[in-house]
Amino acid sequence: MNKTWLIIRREFLSRVRKRSFLVMTLLGPILFGGLMVAPALVASIPDGPKGILILDESGLLSESGIQSDDKHELRYLRPLEYNKESALALLKEKEEYDVLFHVPLSESGDPDFWKRNAALYGKEDVSLGLENYATDVLEKAILEHKLLAENVDPAVVANARTKVDLKTFNLSESAERESATEIKIVVGYAAGFFIYIFIFLYSAQIMRGVIEEKTNRIVEVLISSVRPFQMMIGKIFGIGSVGVLQFAIWVILSIVIFQVASSAFLDTQLDPEQIAAGAEVSTKGFDIIGQIESLPLYTILFGFLFFFVGGYLLYGALFAAVGAAVDSETDTQQFMAPLAIPLVLGLIVSSNVIENPHSDLAFWFSVIPFTSPIVMMVRIPFDVPAWELALSMGMMIIGFLATTWFAGRIYRVGILMYGKKTSYKELWKWIRYNPS
């Protein structure tokens, strides 16, 4: 049997048989499923209304009819009975109130005075939610005050306001149908994020595996039987197949758990708006199946498999080289940064690419092999021109071959170096060094 195949087999079996593999494989989907369901569940937990003391010295808020709602319990303090100090004392004393909203008297009658001088006092740090609420309330009151000063009826303005929910169409798609931007965002981002996680998890395992062989000193025993390159490739493919197996199980189990969980909790306990808030699915509630069908499904699937494997191989080889260059995991820091930065950058850029999937930024980051596995996946649901996809894939293959070659040269020298701290200068020598 081929030696590389023997190595792949060992790397695969020794990991799959571990108890931790079984535990992670079973727990993973529970965690994933939990991550998907948890926000919806959390949102469904009833939260009591916040108590707000209002010292409205100029009567601004009460005039615009700001009243308690189900989230905010307001209590207006009479300006004749209270000043700021006594109001603050009351806030400290009464447990049921969280903040004091102080709107001072504007002696000149200038409405912008309130904008500058109104303040919110909390027992602790004021929460963002309360701050937003107070800001909204004050803005509304000031607006009404200004409108009245100009003799405009606020009811007319409120009536004139129109909320628009624009439908968008994509003419390039086969049928003229409503484009499904939200679902594309979810699919693209999820795919990109999956690849990102996969690369990080399993490339790190390759690195640890190489370090383990070095510290065990088995490496020189092996190297008299197999070429360093065979060792490296065997390790990358062996661990990669563990990852593919684990991810396949995760995906299947996650879908099952998500289905079970959503039918158990979501239908009965939550209103549709909250589900939408949790899962970031369209709030419009129209035909999701139809939207999914409008996506370039085969391209997405093919692209995912390609960039999934390609990205892993590209980074896997580099992480193997890092493992070979160091003696222990604590020494990996200096070499990890240049590998982690493009990966993280890919993820950061993705949030911009989602907004504008056909920009120059999106193009370049989806062609450069170090970021393309993530960024291209985010773009594919938005119909990337075929030539761009081909270019990106071609670059990916070239990139993978280049990093493997590069990593192989570091690897074969590095695995036989013990007890020496490696610098970048040293690595460069290894790459140029020609032993045969």
Instruction: List interacting residues with another protein (CB under 8 A).
Output: 1, 3, 6-7, 10, 14, 212-213, 216-218, 220-226, 416, 418, 429, 433, 435-436
Tokens of 369: 């092999």
The residue among 231 and 393 lying less far from another protein, judged by its C-beta, is: 231
End-to-end CA separation in angstroms for the chain: 26
With beta carbons less than 8 A apart as the criterion, state whether 276 and 47 touch.
no
Question: Which is nearer to another protein, 278 or 408 (by Cβ)?
Answer: 408
In the complex with another protein, the residue whose CB is nearer, 163 or 217, is: 217
Q: Give the pair of three-digit tokens for residue 135.
A: 């800001």
- The CB-of-393 to another protein minimum distance in angstroms stands at 34
Rounded to the nearest whole angstrom, what is the least distance from the CB of residue 209 to another protein in the complex? 10
Closer to another protein by Cβ: residue 19 or 78: 19
Residues 6+ apart with CB under 8 A from 254: 28, 29, 32, 33, 36
Taking the complex as a whole, how short is the minimal distance between the CB of residue 412 and another protein, in angstroms? 9
Three-state secondary-structure class, residue 74: strand
Instruction: Give the three-state DSSP class for 199.
Output: helix
**Minimum CB distance to another protein, residue 237 (Å):** 16
Q: Which of 223, 344 has the CB closer to another protein? A: 223
d(CA 300, CA 293): 12
Q: Rounded to the nearest whole angstrom, what is the least distance from the CB of residue 16 to another protein in the complex?
A: 13
Q: For residue 178, report the phi and psi dihedrals to the nearest 5 degrees.
A: -65, 130
Rounded Cα distance, 267 and 17, in Å:
39
Strands 99-103 and 119-122: antiparallel
Judged by beta carbon, residue 71 or residue 429, the one nearer another protein is: 429
- Nearest to another protein of 358, 429 (CB atom): 429
CA 340 and chain centroid, separation: 16
In whole angstroms, how close is the CB of 436 to another protein at the nearest point? 4
CA–CA separation, 301 and 381 (whole Å) = 10
- Backbone dihedral angles phi then psi of residue 191, each to the nearest 5 degrees: -65, -45
What is the nearest approach in angstroms of another protein to the Cβ of residue 224? Answer: 4
Residue 68 vs residues 44, 95, 100, 127, 131: alpha-carbon distances, Å: 21, 18, 14, 18, 16
Q: Residue 68: what are its φ and ψ, rounded to 5°?
A: -60, 145
- Give me the least distance between CB of 325 and another protein, in Å please: 15
Closer residue to another protein in complex, CB, 148/416: 416
DSSP states along 226-258: S-HHHHHHHHHHHHHHHHHHHHHHHHHHHHHHH
Task: Indicate left, alpha or beta for 186 from its phi (over 0: left) and psi (-120 to 50: alpha).
Answer: alpha
C-beta closer to another protein: residue 264 or 416: 416
Tokens standing for residue 109? 């009658």
Q: How far is the CB of 354 from another protein (least distance, A)?
A: 43
CB of 312 to another protein, least distance (A): 24
Q: Which is nearer to another protein, 1 or 175 (CB)?
A: 1
Bridge partners (DSSP) of residue 103 are 56
Please give the Cα distance from 247 to 198 (Å, whole number). Answer: 8
CA–CA separation, 335 and 332 (whole Å): 6
